[in-house]
């Protein structure tokens, strides 16, 4: 019974590797190595949200988003023959990240054009 399951899993891995050009074992390794960063960013994100720390919240949200996306970047760059919705999901994640960055930069405002205090008259 166990040999049958192992054979099926190996056949699935080989099929995925051939069809999409992505090795599920590499994907799992990337996900496993990335897990501590994911959980730490999630913990800090919840902590910042609970304290209403608006200064740190975007940072931890961005790191959390990056931790979620890292394994899928492997699929995006090395995968082929992927369904259209994979590309759409990655595009939406990137667009959300860019939108957040633009919003954060606009919130900080333009630099002040006034000369520094104590400058020449």
Report the half-sphere exposure of 89 (CA within 13 A, side-chain side).
Answer: 12
Domain membership of residue 89 (yes or no) is yes
Residue 113 lies in a domain: no
Q: Is residue 120 part of a domain?
A: no
pLDDT of the residue at 30: 93
CA distance 79 to 26: 12
* Predicted local confidence at residue 26, as pLDDT: 92
Q: How far apart are CA 84 and CA 76, in angstroms?
A: 11
Residue 103: C-alpha distances to residues 11, 23, 41, 44 (Å): 47, 37, 21, 21
Q: Is 83 part of any domain?
A: yes
In a domain, 114, yes or no: no
Share of the chain residues as helix, strand and coil, in percent rounded to the nearest 5 = 75, 0, 25
Reference 98, options 45, 55, 62; nearest CA is 62
Radius of gyration of the chain from its Cα atoms, rounded to whole angstroms: 22
Q: What is the pLDDT of residue 118?
A: 53
What domain range includes position 62? 2-108
Confidence (pLDDT) at 53: 84
For the chain (length 121 residues), average pLDDT per consecutive 10? 92 88 91 92 87 85 84 86 84 77 64 50 48
Joined tokens for residue 79: 């995968």
Q: Rounded to two decimals, what is the model's pTM? A: 0.64
Instruction: Count the domains in the chain.
Output: 1
């Amino acid at each position: 019974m166990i040999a049958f399951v192992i054979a099926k899993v190996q056949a699935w891995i080989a099929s995925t590797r051939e069809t999409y050009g992505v090795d599920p074992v590499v994907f799992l390794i990337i996900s496993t190595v990335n897990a501590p960063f994911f959980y730490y960013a999630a913990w800090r994100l919840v902590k910042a949200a609970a304290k209403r720390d608006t200064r740190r919240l975007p940072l931890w949200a961005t790191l959390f988003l990056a931790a979620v996306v890292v394994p899928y970047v492997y699929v995006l760059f090395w995968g082929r023959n992927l369904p259209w919705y994979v590309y759409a999901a990655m595009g939406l994640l990137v667009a959300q990240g860019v939108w957040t960055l633009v919003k954060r930069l606009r919130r900080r405002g333009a630099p002040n054009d006034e000369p520094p205090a104590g400058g020449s008259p």
